[in-house]
């Protein structure tokens, strides 16, 4: 059996929590209030390490008041075998990577940040927050998902 063309091997090289803040709740805030989760992703290609860094930033706001309740930022580093062969330089000077690879790494980074948020919220006024499950394929360059 032959392997599909778009296969890749990667390992998690590490996870760094870059920032984490919890704001004081506004008067009248209730845990059952609707919250919004703004998720942003940035990618770093580290040629020398044959690695990709995925920076995941999540901002949680109260739906009605738009008050920021929490903010998280973290970077996961993935060692990717044969990274140089997977990268393609585009006409605009940016570097392209296979969509399947980016989607997979985004999914791991988002899921990991969700776990960090859950453990941070435990025992706080956000303990009962319903954290979203995010489809990493919904992210496109320059767009919100």
What token pair was written down for 22? Answer: 């919890």
pTM of the full predicted structure? 0.83
State the residue range of the domain holding 37: 10-24+31-137
Residue 2 domain-assigned (yes or no): no
Residue 111 domain-assigned (yes or no): yes
Residue 1 domain-assigned (yes or no): no
Q: How far, in Å, CA of 117 to CA of 130, rounded?
A: 11
Residue 124 domain-assigned (yes or no): yes
Residue 131 domain-assigned (yes or no): yes
Per-position pLDDT tens, the chain of length 145: 344 456 789 999 999 999 999 998 877 777 777 889 999 999 999 988 999 999 999 999 988 888 899 999 999 999 999 888 888 877 787 788 888 899 999 999 999 999 999 999 999 989 888 888 887 776 656 554 4
56 closest CA partner among 25, 24, 20: 20
69 closest CA partner among 82, 83, 59: 59
Tell me the CATH number at 111: 3.10.420.10
């Amino acid at each position: 059996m032959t392997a599909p063309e778009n296969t890749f091997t990667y390992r998690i090289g590490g996870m760094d929590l870059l920032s984490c803040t919890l704001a004081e709740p506004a008067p009248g805030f209730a845990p059952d209030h609707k919250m919004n989760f703004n998720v942003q992703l940035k990618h770093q290609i580290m040629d020398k390490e044959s690695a990709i860094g995925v920076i995941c930033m999540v901002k949680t706001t109260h739906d009605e008041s738009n008050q920021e309740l929490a903010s998280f930022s973290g970077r996961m580093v993935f060692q990717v075998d044969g990274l140089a062969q997977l990268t393609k330089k585009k006409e605009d000077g940016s570097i392209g990577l296979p969509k399947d690879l980016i989607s997979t790494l985004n999914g791991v980074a988002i899921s990991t940040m969700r776990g960090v948020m859950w453990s941070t919220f435990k025992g706080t006024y956000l303990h009962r927050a319903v954290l979203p499950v995010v489809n990493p394929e919904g992210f496109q360059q320059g767009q919100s998902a």
